[in-house]
Amino acid sequence: MTVAIFLGALLGAMALGMPIAYALLVSGAALMWHLDTFDAQILAQNLINGADSFPLLAVPFFMLAGEIMNVGGLSRRIVNLALALVGHLRGGLGFVTILAAVLMAALSGSAVADTAALAALLLPMMVKAGHDKARAGGLIASAGIIAPVIPPSIGFVIFGVAANLSIGKLFMAGIVPGLLLGLAIAITWYFVAKKEAITPPAKATTAERWAALRSSTWALFLPVIVLVGLKMGVFTPTEAAVVAAVYALFVATVVYREMTLAQLLPVFVSAAKTTSVIMFLVAAAMVSAWLITVANLPTQLIALLQPFMDNPTLLLLMIMLLVIAVGTAMDMTPTILILTPVLMPVVKAAGIDPIYFGVLFIINNAIGLITPPVGTVLNVVAGVGRMKMDDVTRGVLPFMLAQLAVLLLLVLFPQIVLWPLKLFY
């Protein structure tokens, strides 16, 4: 009955068109009423405490770093480097997209920011070269969702706070799976591109490659600084986000000089708007998370999943199917915030490594960003590329299936995630 009231209130409020943050508050209030503990003061207190988190300060600074990189020329130089390295291959612009996405993922950690930059820079180039626009848009969308998996990842920050896990360990555990996602869509693109009779651009000379590398060196140093700093214990993930934002600002204004003082205010405002949406979602979700614990919903869920508890692989498959289903109707951040407090006790009770589960969970949620009908990243590509949502959805399908195959591989072979993590810790 408790589960029915919580889900009924949440889904009912969303069906009425209420924003997810407010729907979470409504479901929390409904649960409090059902438990006969309704108190507006407790509701407000938990709402404030939900956003009062030092690790969550990483979110606005990583968002700011991403905005600065797009405006300040760092993203464009990464794309130019990828173009010089692999642009001459058959279907080369597709490989440029994938390589640029992997490199940019190590800079910002935001799927939306990376996808918008890739779509603006590369989609016109791919269409002009003769690639099918829907297929090119689908590739860009699938490449964009690598950002929440390769560190620094905003998704890992939110999950780490919600699950009370080490964000640094989550960052390190995401490196190999993120690269595998890129490899999967690269292999898929290789076979897709063979069907298109397109002449690739001329191979860049050694001098041109060195010039592109020198031009992007300052941008490439950003992930190195963040990862080495985290591994050496120089700074925490939150401090790493500040370092990333300050470094990106320095490079954009002093080194590349592509960002003027007049552009600073719009960049800060844009980052603040995006951050405010995420932080309000987090605060509202923390109210629900507290009530989920009070109502003892995790124990009820464990009882429901008891037949699968002795087989961690089967349990993970069931959970992944659940998250895929939720991802078709809900964005990444609310999915993380709603499901994490419910699923983590189940995962721990089954003896599954929480860090390993976190990586699978974030990959699954990232794939949800290109799953219709919601598909936030699909909407970004459709908006930037002036395409129909149906066309982008059609184009993304083969790449989405390849990434789901990687997710299945990680479920069946946990050591792919756990073994590299042991090298760092």
Give the model confidence (pLDDT) of 114-155 as tens digits.
888 888 888 888 887 788 899 999 999 999 999 899 988 888
Closest by CA position to 80, among listed 208, 199, 270: 208
Domain count, the chain: 1
Q: Which of 3-17, 381-395, 402-416 has the lowest mean pLDDT?
A: 3-17
What digits encode the pLDDT tens for the residues 42-61?
A: 777 777 776 777 777 777 88
pLDDT tops 80 at residue 369: yes
Say how far apart CA 409 and CA 355 lie, in whole Å: 17
Mean pLDDT of 72-92: 80
- pLDDT score of 271 more than 90: no
pLDDT in the model for residue 1: 64
Structural domain includes residue 323: yes
Task: Reply yes or no on whether the pLDDT at 322 is more than 90.
Answer: no
Q: What's the pLDDT score for residue 100?
A: 86
Q: How do residues 4-22 score in pLDDT, each as one tens digit?
A: 777 777 778 777 877 777 8
Q: Is the pLDDT of residue 87 over 70?
A: yes
Domain that holds residue 274: 39-424
Asked whether the predicted pLDDT for residue 359 surpasses 90, the reply is yes
Average pLDDT over residues 63-77: 83
pLDDT band at residue 264 under the 50/70/90 scheme? confident
Average confidence (pLDDT) over 237-250: 87
Could you tell me the pTM of the whole model? Answer: 0.80
User: What percent of the chain is predicted at pLDDT more than 70?
Assistant: 94
Q: Is the pLDDT at 172 greater than 80, yes or no? A: yes
28 located within any domain: no
Within a domain: residue 227?
Answer: yes
Q: Is residue 250 part of a domain?
A: yes
Kindly state whether residue 29 falls inside one of the protein's structural domains: no
| pLDDT score, position 142 | 94
Residue 19 lies inside a defined structural domain of this protein: no
pLDDT beyond 90 at 26: no
Average pLDDT over residues 194-205: 74
Q: pLDDT above 90 covers what percent of the chain?
A: 19
Which pLDDT does position 373 carry in this prediction? 67
pLDDT for res 296? 66
Q: Is the pLDDT of residue 425 over 70?
A: no
Residue 32 lies in a domain: no
Is residue 225's pLDDT more than 80? yes
Amino acid residing at 199: T
Of the spans 63-67, 69-73, 157-161, 353-357, which averages the highest pLDDT?
A: 353-357
Q: Where are the alpha helices (H) located in 72-165, listed in sequence order?
A: 74-86, 92-105, 111-129, 133-144, 154-163
Q: Average pLDDT, stretch 233-246?
A: 84
Domain for residue 327, yes or no? yes
Lowest mean pLDDT, pick from 46-50, 84-88, 95-99, 135-139? 46-50
Query: Does residue 285 register a pLDDT over 80?
Result: no
Please report the pLDDT score of residue 346 as a whole number: 86
Residue 178 in this model has a pLDDT that exceeds 90 = yes
187 — pLDDT class (breaks 50, 70, 90): very high
Please give the mean pLDDT across all residues of the chain. Answer: 83
Beta carbons within 8 Å of 297's beta carbon, 6+ residues apart: 2, 3, 6, 342
- Mean pLDDT, to the nearest integer, of 385-393? 85
Residue 361: what pLDDT?
Answer: 95
Question: Of 202-206, 245-249, 407-411, which gets the smallest average pLDDT?
Answer: 202-206
Close Cβ partners of 26 (under 8 Å, ≥ 6 residues apart): 9, 10, 13, 18
pLDDT over 80 (residue 300): no
257: left (phi over 0), alpha (psi -120 to 50) or beta: left
* Better-scored residue on pLDDT, 68 or 198: 68
As a whole number, mean pLDDT of residues 231-242 equals 80
